Amino acid sequence: MGVYERQKKEKEILEAAIRLFASKGYQSTKMDEVAKSAKMSKGLIYFYYKNKEDLYMAVTKKAFEELKDVFKDTQKTKGKSGIDLIKMLIENFIRFTENNRMYQEAILNFMGLMAQYNDAEKRTHIDPLILESPNFTHLLEIHHDPAKIGIQIISHGVRDGSMRPDLQPEITFYTIWTMMIGYERLRGPIEYENKEIKISTENWQNGFIKLINDLLVGTIQAQRPKAVQGSLF
């Protein structure tokens, strides 16, 4: 089997799995259903992916690759300051999570796995089939790629003067990303109509982006500090 044909089969299996995981959820999806949706034999599915856990890790890897493209495409926008790029990134991230719910859930699930994986005792509670997955091993190598781009954007903003000179890029970006993830998680409760809090998704998104802008821009009196580690603001 040639490389092109192999890649084509892998793509068809992934697309079938994504459709089923999105509509039925990971737990309820059976490998038989993936095979039927991909119009392949179950044996052929197992030729490409060792088990359902490995297939889910492959889908998660695809999710991180798609998210990285969102970051990369934002960074490539010409003629924009660092602060403008961050605001664009937030809008593009929100759009990504709206259009790719399954990808976002897979990414968040992997982040939860990493919290277990980084603790020797908790790691023993992770499904061994996940730890044995080649795609999980690959994820360990690439899952920081989107953040690396985000850090570069913050650094660009500090250099071009559109952001405060005292910002530490790594800490700043991971703090902003935390806020972005929290925003995505709370959108559901905010959209619920029967609530006493007077807020809509539209005015919240605008206010959210403005708040981050204000935090990153700061005041014109901000001075570049002497080398001090661990400072966000």
CATH code, 90: 1.10.357.10
Q: What is the pLDDT of residue 92?
A: 97
Q: What is the pLDDT of residue 230?
A: 52
CATH code for the domain of 3: 1.10.10.60
Co-location of 100 and 191 in the same domain = yes
Residue 228 lies in a domain: no
Average confidence (pLDDT) over 166-180: 96
Residue 231 lies in a domain: no
- The per-residue b/e assignment along 203-233, b for 16 or more CB within 10 angstroms, e otherwise, is eebeebbeebbebbeeeeeeeeeeeeeeeee
Co-location of 82 and 176 in the same domain = yes
Q: Of 97, 67, 232, give the one whose Cα is nearest residue 154.
A: 232
Q: What is the pLDDT of residue 200?
A: 79
Asked whether the beta carbons of 158 and 169 are under 8 A apart, the reply is yes
Co-location of 37 and 56 in the same domain = no
Residue 232 lies in a domain: no
Residue 227 lies in a domain: no
Rounded to 10 deg, the angle between the 31-38 and 3-24 helix axes is 120
Place of tokens 């790029």: 85
Average model confidence (pLDDT) across the chain: 91
Co-location of 23 and 41 in the same domain = yes
Co-location of 95 and 198 in the same domain = yes
Residue 233 lies in a domain: no
| Lowest model confidence (mean pLDDT) among 15-24, 49-58, 105-114, 201-210 | 201-210
Co-location of 118 and 17 in the same domain = no
Report d(CA 68, CA 48) in Å as an integer.
24
Average confidence (pLDDT) over 132-143: 96
Q: Which two tokens stand for residue 49?
A: 């992916």
Residue 223 lies in a domain: no
Element (H, E) at 48: helix 42-48
Q: Is the pLDDT of residue 222 over 60?
A: no
| Lowest model confidence (mean pLDDT) among 26-30, 109-113, 209-213, 225-229 | 225-229
Co-location of 133 and 165 in the same domain = yes
Co-location of 25 and 95 in the same domain = no
For Cα atoms 212, 67, 13, give the angle at the middle one, nearest 5 degrees: 155
Per-residue pLDDT band for 5 (boundaries 50, 70, 90) equals confident
Report d(CA 62, CA 74) in Å as an integer.
19
Q: What is the pLDDT of residue 1?
A: 62
The pLDDT tens digits of the residues spanning 71-107 come to 999 999 999 999 999 999 999 999 999 999 999 999 9
Co-location of 118 and 209 in the same domain = yes
Domain count across the chain = 2
Q: What is the pLDDT of residue 219?
A: 56
Co-location of 132 and 191 in the same domain = yes
Q: Is the pLDDT of residue 125 over 50?
A: yes
The pLDDT tens digits of the residues spanning 103-123 come to 999 999 999 999 999 999 999
Residue 230 lies in a domain: no
The pLDDT tens digits of the residues spanning 27-75 come to 999 999 999 999 999 999 999 999 999 999 999 999 999 999 999 999 9
Q: Of 192, 6, 180, give the one whose Cα is nearest residue 93.
A: 180
Co-location of 33 and 141 in the same domain = no
Co-location of 185 and 70 in the same domain = yes
Average confidence (pLDDT) over 165-171: 96
Domain residue limits at 13: 1-48
- CA 136, chain centre distance (Å): 15
